């Protein structure tokens, strides 16, 4: 089973645009060409009636269907029923989609909060902005961690 995910109004607009372009490219444009050729050669030379764009699209459809009937080739598209999903599988897919949406939101929030404007203290005690890297995460003070580690090692050595 193939699932197409459309996110928000931008995704919906994009899907409509893609469908409209596909329709214009595979139906309207060849229909216009069929109408133009019919009107240019048959209507002028043999006094056939002129066609509108709708009739040109119908003519294009007749040409395509006749081609597939004569050659015996099938359509490239096939429509098949997929096996039904159980409620558990559907709930698992929905749950994973919700988790993915929450993770995307959390990643977006984390990426925003990770950009911290660091200010340095000057020797005078005044604050000044760091001109070299204004958006960096604060560093961890390792001196306090090392003293804790040494006191742990001393207590372990006393036990031995």
- Digit-coded pLDDT (tens) for 65-85: 898 889 887 666 666 666 777
Structural domains in the chain (count): 1
Arithmetic mean of pLDDT over the chain? 77
Separation CA 128–CA 122 (nearest Å)? 7
- 127 or 31, which is more confident? 31
Separation CA 59–CA 38 (nearest Å)? 9
Q: Give domain status of residue 151, yes or no.
A: no
Q: What pLDDT band is residue 18 in, cutting at 50, 70 and 90? A: very high
Q: Give domain status of residue 35, yes or no.
A: yes
Structural domain that includes position 23 = 9-72
Q: Give domain status of residue 147, yes or no.
A: no
User: pTM of the predicted model, to two decimals?
Assistant: 0.45
**How far is residue 113 CA from its own chain's centroid?**
25
Q: Give domain status of residue 99, yes or no.
A: no
Q: How far apart, in Å, are the Cα atoms of 95 and each of 3, 90, 103?
A: 15, 9, 12
Q: Give domain status of residue 78, yes or no.
A: no
Separation CA 30–CA 125 (nearest Å)? 76
Pairing label, strands 127-129, 119-121: antiparallel
Q: For the chain, first and last CA: distance in Å?
A: 63
Q: What pLDDT band is residue 4 in, cutting at 50, 70 and 90? A: confident
- Digit-coded pLDDT (tens) for 120-145: 444 445 555 545 555 555 555 545 44
């Amino acid at each position: 089973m193939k699932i197409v995910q459309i996110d928000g109004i931008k995704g919906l607009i994009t899907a409509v645009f893609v469908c409209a372009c596909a329709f214009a490219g595979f139906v309207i444009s060849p229909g216009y060409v069929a109408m133009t050729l019919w009107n240019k050669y048959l209507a002028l030379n043999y006094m056939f009636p002129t066609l509108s764009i709708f009739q040109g699209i119908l003519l294009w459809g007749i040409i395509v269907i006749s081609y597939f009937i004569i050659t015996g080739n099938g359509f490239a598209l096939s429509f098949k029923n997929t096996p039904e999903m159980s409620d558990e599988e559907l709930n698992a897919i929905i749950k994973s989609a919700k988790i993915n949406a929450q993770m995307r939101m959390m990643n977006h929030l984390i990426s925003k909060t990770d950009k911290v404007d660091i200010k340095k203290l000057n020797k005078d005690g005044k604050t000044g902005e760091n001109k070299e890297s204004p958006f960096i995460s604060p560093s961890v003070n390792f001196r306090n961690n090392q003293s804790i580690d040494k006191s742990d090692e001393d207590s372990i050595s006393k036990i031995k």
